[in-house]
Structure 1
């Protein structure tokens, strides 16, 4: 029965995604659809896209190892969502014709900043897609007993097909289905687990007291705050997130949907983390990486288990399709178009975007299977998005007076901060170079803007 549910679910996702491609005529349709989505749709697509394997399976694993401190750390992500909803989403009506983070950077700093942002966008998105590809293989292996390579080919093949043909519309519609499944499935797994144990009191008695400490006993306060800030800054205004801010019918709906997503993530992280505590109570000797799969396979009855496994697959698929679309959009809009002397027709832009969407997906699959060291390099690019791009991008959103010198000074300072802190100094006190890089960027950006803005006024 479980297999039938999962096969039916994957078939529905593929069918809906392919159906969504009807009527697509331009790169704008591919990247931001028709910009008419309401707050509930934005809430669902944001929540499905950015939960990811790390915030679900990874959260259960970390709570199994270290305790509830990891839940509190993930609330840095929740705070980020709420801050974006409060201060940036209400500004989106000021950007009616943009389709990417690079477009927004171009308004503040010119074409060169757009191209630089495009390169960082492509590397970031490709790395995260690669990570989700690996997670897909693990999920099919653990839950269904299918060899990882076949799990990757099945799951990622479906994602590549519907995201290539259907673009952002397919991503959004499948996100809605995926959100509904995971929002029901994972809380169900937790409830069944607690009932099987005889109540939460059984968890309190079985789990070491140190697992309820914040910060965790193995972590200094400095390292804890650094990790919290890493979750706060790390995925802020990444390319697919910016695209979600651009698909709303107006800024009011965008802000409301973003706020709902931030609020939803707070109890959701509690749910996925608590599943780790259930696993620890059931079997303290379990491999922590298998905490969530173990609970799902152990406590759930047939049928319900199939729905929950579909929910876990949804988590990975919804992240992969979003970052695939983000990579293709950034490559065409932020790199190819600005560097071409002769403009592309709408038809050729769309065709090239679809080809690149397919290529990035296949590239991620091949390297995840064959050359993991290349994938590690792509994932490492994640550490540079916030230190290099976040500060100048947020400044344009917020209407701060900016200069090209501010962008380049901040970019160089942010990248140097990460490299020196992580590479040469080896992350002293356990503090992440990502956090150091953001603050280096902010200081250099502010100083350069002040100096060069003053020069402009004198001129």
Structure 2
């Protein structure tokens, strides 16, 4: 009962904080970037809370349970990406006049068509990742609280829809701060109590299979490098993360906040992965996907269980709200506005309506149509091969043409589809990487052709 009370109080606090924080939002710009007024510490907290989803927490524990520390080393590709963004991309944001989406930057360099294309893929990507988080939300409520997954999804995402629709980015940032604090405290406690129960670090090292402690584990070097660079480029400059570059007071705050987030992810990923390693020692017979949930339920005392479950719920909610906002803002600002020339007042009404609709559709799909979610999640493979190369080259000051964007997009699509579907992803290399290479090659070639 104590644990349930803690979780209930936490969910109520998230809802109240989100609604109160966003009461005075009056425009789509405020809805998207919250006045561009935040310090580097806020950027650090909200960016970290956004990228720590189910994959980087429970998914990491599951993979380390199965394959060993190699999964942590591969995930550090994401950490490297954040550090590179802080060092090279963040300082360049000052070149743009008040952008609120990735589409604004693409439109600045490649024209209206590229902005609309970027907006469409932003909506698809954000909806797919939102769908994955919604499914995880139902799973968490079911496994920890015994609620039917449908009710868990409705409660969890219902709260997210409410505060994100009322308050937009400002509500998301304030709730992200609370969620970040709870998950940052909660998950290390699971590892600490687990290691103590296992008899200490030495006992854990002695008990796990030797392969689990090697650098490559069961992977070949080529397969590992493919996985590592998939994490480097897979979520590179996705809409919610780029929005965090727009909400700071100035470029220096952006750079420091992003750098801190990248550095923080290194020990955090080690903690969530190591929970899977300890679970292998304590509960070797369980299903791998239950590694973290089993640890939480079995090694923590009453009271702390509630705090940690709140932390796990935070992980999913903080990602869900960011991708929900990213989808609705991109749909209105990058697609509807350029095609229909709508005014700011109408756009503000539309972004709230679409925020609700996307959230409700995510609930329906998660409950009823699992295969649709699979299709949406697979669309994740098309973001980097289509958008990242032209986006990075443009931000870093390269001379680009409209033609190059479309050549690169063609190369990216051919690379992904050909490698994954025609050749069935040989050599353990992900089609996402081949798509990025294909984009880069045709993007470069496109420079030699007329605009």
Q: Does 1:358 align with 2:356?
A: yes
Deviation, structure 1 residue 110 = 0.2
Give me the TM-score of the superposition, normalised by structure 1: 0.97
Q: Aligned ranges for residues 158-197 of structure 1 at < 5 Å?
A: 158-197=159-198
Q: Does 1:98 align with 2:99?
A: yes
- Give the conservation status (yes or no) of the 8 Å contact 1:102–1:334: yes
Deviation, structure 1 residue 21 = 2.0
- Give the conservation status (yes or no) of the 8 Å contact 2:179–2:311: yes
Which of 367, 375, 393 aligns to 1:369? It is 367
Q: Aligned ranges for residues 57-456 of structure 1 at < 5 Å?
A: 57-217=58-218, 219-340=219-340, 342-344=341-343, 346-449=344-447, 451-452=448-449
SS in 2 for 1:381: helix
Distance in 2, matches of 1:100 and 1:142, equals 36
Deviation, structure 1 residue 216 = 1.5
Judge which range, 94-103 or 1-10, deviates more.
94-103
Distance in 1, matches of 2:328 and 2:142, equals 29
Q: Which residue of 2 aligns with 1:49?
A: 50
Distance in 1, matches of 2:47 and 2:128, equals 19
After superposing on structure 2, the runs of 4+ consecutive aligned residues of structure 1 that deviate more than 3 Å are: none
Superposed CA deviations along residues 273-330 of structure 1, whole A, max 9, x for unmatched, are 0000111111111110000010111111111111111000000000000000000000
- Give the conservation status (yes or no) of the 8 Å contact 2:336–2:342: no
Distance in 2, matches of 1:258 and 1:97, equals 19
Distance in 2, matches of 1:401 and 1:355, equals 38
- Give the conservation status (yes or no) of the 8 Å contact 1:122–1:328: yes
Distance in 1, matches of 2:223 and 2:211, equals 17
Query: What is the root-mean-square deviation of aligned Cα atoms in Å?
Result: 0.9
Distance in 2, matches of 1:5 and 1:350, equals 36
Distance in 2, matches of 1:348 and 1:441, equals 36
- Give the conservation status (yes or no) of the 8 Å contact 1:414–1:439: yes
Deviation, structure 1 residue 347 = 2.4
Give me the TM-score of the superposition, normalised by structure 2: 0.99
Distance in 2, matches of 1:80 and 1:112, equals 28
- Give the conservation status (yes or no) of the 8 Å contact 1:31–1:167: yes
Superposed CA deviations along residues 71-108 of structure 1, whole A, max 9, x for unmatched, are 00000000000000000001111123110000100010
SS in 2 for 1:320: helix
Distance in 2, matches of 1:69 and 1:228, equals 10
Deviation, structure 1 residue 368 = 0.9
Superposed CA deviations along residues 33-58 of structure 1, whole A, max 9, x for unmatched, are 10011100000000000011000000
Distance in 1, matches of 2:283 and 2:371, equals 33
For structure 2, list consecutive stretches of 5 or more residues without a partner in the other structure: none
- Give the conservation status (yes or no) of the 8 Å contact 1:92–1:250: no
Superposed CA deviations along residues 213-248 of structure 1, whole A, max 9, x for unmatched, are 12122x221111001010000000001111111001
Distance in 1, matches of 2:285 and 2:305, equals 23
